[in-house]
Amino acid sequence: MMNYKTIQIYTSEDARWHGKPLSEAILMFVHDLKLAARCTVTRGVAGCYENGELATSKIEILSFKMPLKLEIVLPASETQRVLPTIQEMVVDGIVSVGDLDVVSHRTQKHLIPKRLQVRDVMTPSPQKVHATTPASNVVRILLSGEFNSVPVVDDLDRPIGIITQGDLISRGKMPVRLGLMQQLGQENLDAVLKEMADRPAGQIMTKPVITIAEDSLLSHAVDRMLKNNLKRLPVVDAGGKLVGVLARLDVFRTITTEMPNWKEIQACNVVLTDVCLVKDIMRRDTHTVTADASLEEVMRVIDSNDIQRVAVVTGDGKFLGLISDRD
């Protein structure tokens, strides 16, 4: 048996905490603590209160202040992380604590919370260009930001294409990758951009562009990115207008901020199921160079394999570090 506690809150739909429904506030409080805990909210069909009020759905009585019961089940050792704040939040209700003998506690390990939508994590109001924008201006935009691609929109801000650094190299006369463009020196960079100025974005963009609706589930967007081998997706509203960009970095940041501390949860004897290990998903066809490789060789490996970084290893394959096209 595992020693757990159950915290029960008896309140009503009218109860508030800082202007929000109390039940919602408590739910988010417990969620944000990232404990090995579960919280359930139950709405009663009728009830009465110590102040004489009667809660019922009968129209002739006209009382809709329905009772709510919240129950938090958690390891006994975590109780004091929750209880003091709960007592402060419940200004209209009853709080009780009881012992609970738990036989087992299992949970599935998800990287991406199912409730999140694309709009919750996307980068809003992204940089964009039009079909007539010179390729040189596209390069300037990308060199000034952290992205390696930019959406192309029509006059109504609807995405009609996307320009990646691969497009700039293959169709836009860009001689090297963006990371290496920054190392050319201002005079050489200006010369390259002048050469690219006669190519409009509409001629070098990839089309049609794959987009995602802002109200789509984040998990669906990730599936679309994986299926189409994409690093980012333009995000559109109900009218098809560009409202954001979802990049892999946005997904990674979300995972790190939303994910609980699984080691702490396991320390409470919680059994994790559907665990995915690094070895299960990592790529094994990695490209490497040795520490004594020339810069030209590194550039050739990066450019010929359309990658952004390469592992540096010893002669016997021991990992030493990474070198990227921006190094």
Q: How many CB atoms lie within 10 A of CB 91?
A: 11
User: Between 17 and 59, where is the model more confident?
Assistant: 17
Residues spanned by CATH 3.10.580.10 within the chain? 118-256, 283-324
Q: What is the pLDDT of residues 256-288, one digit of tens each?
A: 777 777 777 777 777 777 656 666 666 677 788
Residue 40, classed as helix, strand or coil, is strand
Query: Which CATH number is correct for 2-102, 3.40.50.2300, 1.10.132.50, 3.40.50.620, 3.30.70.120?
Result: 3.30.70.120
pTM of the entire predicted model: 0.67
Residues spanned by CATH 3.30.70.120 within the chain? 2-102
Residue 55 · residue 127 · CB < 8 Å: no
C-alpha to C-alpha distance for 31 and 124, rounded to whole angstroms: 26
Residue 212 neighbours by CB under 8 Å, 6+ apart: 118, 220, 221, 224, 233, 234, 235, 236, 246
CB-side exposure of 216: number of CA atoms within 13 Å? 20
Q: What is the pLDDT of residues 41-53, one digit of tens each?
A: 999 988 888 888 8
Q: What is the pLDDT of residues 192-219, one digit of tens each?
A: 888 888 899 999 999 999 999 999 999 9
Q: What is the pLDDT of residues 103-136, one digit of tens each?
A: 999 887 776 777 889 999 999 999 999 999 999 9
In this structure, is the dihedral angle defined by the CA atoms of residues 218, 222, 227 and 228, taken in order, positive or negative? positive
- Residue 71, pLDDT above cutoff 90: yes
Q: Does 283-324 carry CATH code 3.30.70.120?
A: no
Architecture label for domain 118-256: Roll (3.10)
E strand segments, the chain: 2-12, 16-17, 20-21, 38-43, 47-48, 54-55, 67-75, 94-102, 106-108, 123-124, 129-130, 149-153, 159-164, 212-213, 232-236, 242-247, 271-273, 288-290, 309-313, 319-324
- Residue 301, pLDDT above cutoff 90: no
User: Between 179 and 160, where is the model more confident?
Assistant: 160
